[in-house]
Structure 1
Amino acid sequence: MAPPSRRSPRRQPRPLSHRAVLGCWTEHAACGPWHRPRGLEPGDWQPDQLGARTELAIEVCAACPVRGQCLRHAMTTGEPVGIWGGLHPEQRRHVT
């Protein structure tokens, strides 16, 4: 009699995480949940309109160690909304 097969059942593919989509640079982003200043929420980087909290979020971006990678991501993927690399969509339209 043959020994039982030791093959494991086929695994289902895992869904892509934000890290797989955006890259590991997001772990160092100043807007990430582990670095974000108190009082700012993720929505402050995805505003419907610019306001005082969004301006503060943009200031956080100015000192972010991965600001360049963030802006490059937005420019490469054509992010239509949100603050990326310290720039809102209107500002990004004028970057060449």
Structure 2
Amino acid sequence: MGGRWEPAGRLREHCPRASPAQHLAAAITIGDHFFASSSSTPDYDEYHQAMLRHLQVDASALLLAKLRRKVPTPVFLETHPDVMETPCFAALQPTR
């Protein structure tokens, strides 16, 4: 895997009424197992379909396209706490 990755946020954004939080966590676990059971990076639509099946949400072509779209850098940047204090991290922050 590479790039920006935040499946829980994507599912919450595009399936807000799909399920309670504990079902969302279980769906993410199903997605994690889906990736772990593959010897190479599987198709992202199949990954999303596995999670959506658990949430009992129709995996329409439009929804799958929304879930796999690229996320702009300013929208999501996950770092470990020890990185946040480095000059490199500071340089990545948008100016206001």
| TM-score, normalising length: structure 1 | 0.26
Higher relative contact order (CA 8 A, sep 6+): 2
Bigger helix share: 2
| TM-score, normalising length: structure 2 | 0.26
Which is greater in Rg? Answer: 1
